Amino acid sequence: MLLEKLNWRYATKKFDSSKSVPADKVARIVEAARLAPTSSGLQPFEVIVISNHALREKIQPIAFNQAQVVDASHLLVFAAWDNYTADRINAAFDLVNAERGFVSEGGENYRQMLLNGYVPRDAQVNFEHAARQAYIGFGLAIAAAAFEGVDATPMEGFDAAALDELLGLKAKGLKSVTILPLGYRDAANDWLVNLKKVRRPLDKFVTEIA
Amino acid sequence: MLLEKLNWRYATKKFDSSKSVPADKVARIVEAARLAPTSSGLQPFEVIVISNHALREKIQPIAFNQAQVVDASHLLVFAAWDNYTADRINAAFDLVNAERGFVSEGGENYRQMLLNGYVPRDAQVNFEHAARQAYIGFGLAIAAAAFEGVDATPMEGFDAAALDELLGLKAKGLKSVTILPLGYRDAANDWLVNLKKVRRPLDKFVTEIA
């Protein structure tokens, strides 16, 4: 079922700009990213959902003029934490304690280990770690879009610093890492839609040690 | 359907070591990673599937003695390319041309852009980029496991350099980034299985700009 959906999806090159993804579908796509597992459960990223057309017109030149940004109906921006801070780590652990209704010694020891390990660490190292977690959510959002019959284009081709500036992400301690236009394919005008999906053969992808 | 599966899964803390995941299920989990979208379609990672128990016993101390490594029946190691090289980039583009049966000017221009941009770039920058792509596959493998009713534990807690040494990954130009034990939960002895899944509330995860 999942494999069928992954085979259905492709990096849409041309969206039908007359069609819009219903809000409930967008919500379930975002929910998949929210449910994504992340290292120590910190969820070190956020998602910005942009349907506003004027704003997407401003983003298009930042994204090498790729038309998907405006032809799709929604643009998801995945933005990772720029650093791990004590406040962010404590908020995550406090939330777990509040939601589960108890404090455990093991959990508190683990919190201290992360505070001691992450907070003094170089911000760039922490950002790279957070960015990887964002990619788990990104992958699950892409899968979720396929389950909704929604087309999507995973995109790294944009000027992250310019997008952060436009969206005010720096003030929020966030850095954009990927964007994902959501919409419906314009099959008649999409050069990629009918081309074979190509992946490295299994024997060059997997090694089994039995 | 996907959301249901993502809610079902959890980071399994205790596996039932008497149970083994059937080969066809492991194959479909790996296939989800193989089908993962990656930047420019380069698929800059490989997966090592370890069922060998003696090898997993050697890995356990490298993974902070976490029991899942041996109690599960399979261990997937996600290993990213240590660098982008001309050979790797050319192999990916050559494969696309061979599979689709034609060479396009656009594709060849894109190949040159990547060769010019990636090959001279610092190896660490390239590795970090490749690692992010591996996390997309990692996320989809986790989702695929849930669809198969297979339990899994996403793990970053291991000494990557030591694991690379043990598995001979350096000689292959690979660096391990995550591991994923696959098996079946020992619900009676897993402290996490019945605890509430906690995620940051939607208003602290998503921003909508309409």
Which pLDDT belongs to residue B109? 98
State ipTM. 0.98
What number of C-beta contacts closer than 8 Å exist between A and B? Answer: 179
Which pLDDT belongs to residue B62? 98
Contacts of A43 in chain B (CB under 8 A): 199-200, 205
Nearby residues of B146 by Cβ (< 8 Å), 6 or more positions away: B5, B6, B8, B9, B152
Which pLDDT belongs to residue A32? 98
> Chain A window 61-90: which residues touch B at a Cβ cutoff of 8 Å?
none
Which pLDDT belongs to residue B167? 98
To test the contact with chain A by mutation, choose from B135, B182, B203 the residue with the greatest count of A C-beta atoms within 10 A, namely: B135
The per-residue pLDDT for range B55-105, each reduced to its tens digit, is 999 999 999 999 999 999 999 999 999 999 999 999 999 999 999 999 999
Read off the amino acid at residue B94: D
Which pLDDT belongs to residue B4? 98
Which pLDDT belongs to residue B17? 98
Which pLDDT belongs to residue A91? 98
Count of C-beta atoms within a 10 Å radius of residue A201:
11
3-state helix, strand and coil shares in percent for chain A, rounded to the nearest 5: 50, 15, 30
Which pLDDT belongs to residue A95? 98
Which pLDDT belongs to residue B160? 98
Residue A45, classed as helix, strand or coil, is strand
Which pLDDT belongs to residue B41? 98
Which pLDDT belongs to residue A117? 98
Q: Under an 8 A CB cutoff, do B2 and A32 touch?
A: yes
Residue A120, token pair as written in the block: 């003094």
Q: Under an 8 A CB cutoff, do A34 and B206 touch?
A: yes
Which pLDDT belongs to residue B140? 98
To test the contact with chain A by mutation, choose from B40, B129, B177, B198 the residue with the greatest count of A C-beta atoms within 10 A, namely: B198
Looking at the partner chain, which of A96, A132, A206 has a beta carbon nearest the beta carbon of B198?
A96
Which pLDDT belongs to residue A30? 98
Q: Which residue ranges in chain A fall short of pLDDT 50?
A: none
Which pLDDT belongs to residue B176? 99
Hey, what long-range contacts does B50-53 have (CB within 8 A, 24 or more apart)? Answer: B50/A208, B50/A209, B50/B74, B50/B75, B50/B76, B50/B77, B51/A208, B51/A209, B51/A210, B51/B20, B51/B75, B52/A209, B52/A210
Show pLDDT as tens, one digit a residue, over chain B (210 residues).
999 999 999 999 999 999 999 999 999 999 999 999 999 999 999 999 999 999 999 999 999 999 999 999 999 999 999 999 999 999 999 999 999 999 999 999 999 999 999 999 999 999 999 999 999 999 999 999 999 999 999 999 999 999 999 999 999 999 999 999 999 999 999 999 999 999 999 999 999 999
Domain boundaries, chain A: 2-84+121-205, 86-118
To test the contact with chain A by mutation, choose from B1, B3, B142 the residue with the greatest count of A C-beta atoms within 10 A, namely: B3
Which pLDDT belongs to residue A201? 98
What global pTM score does this model have? 0.98
Which pLDDT belongs to residue A98? 98
Q: What is the 3-state secondary structure (H, E, C) of chain B?
A: CHHHHHHHCCECCCECCCCCCCHHHHHHHHHHHHHCCCHHHCCCEEEEEECCHHHHHHHHHHHCCCCHHHHCCEEEEEEEECCCCHHHHHHHHHHHHHHHCCCCHHHHHHHHHHHHHHCCCCHHHHHHHHHHHHHHHHHHHHHHHHHCCCEECCECCCCHHHHHHHHCCHHHCEEEEEEEEEECECHHHCCCCCCCCCCCCHHHCEEEEC
Minimal CA–CA distance to B158: which of B59, B12, B46? B59
Minimal CA–CA distance to A55: which of A70, A65, A44? A70
Q: Does 3.40.109.10 match the CATH number of domain B2-84+121-205?
A: yes
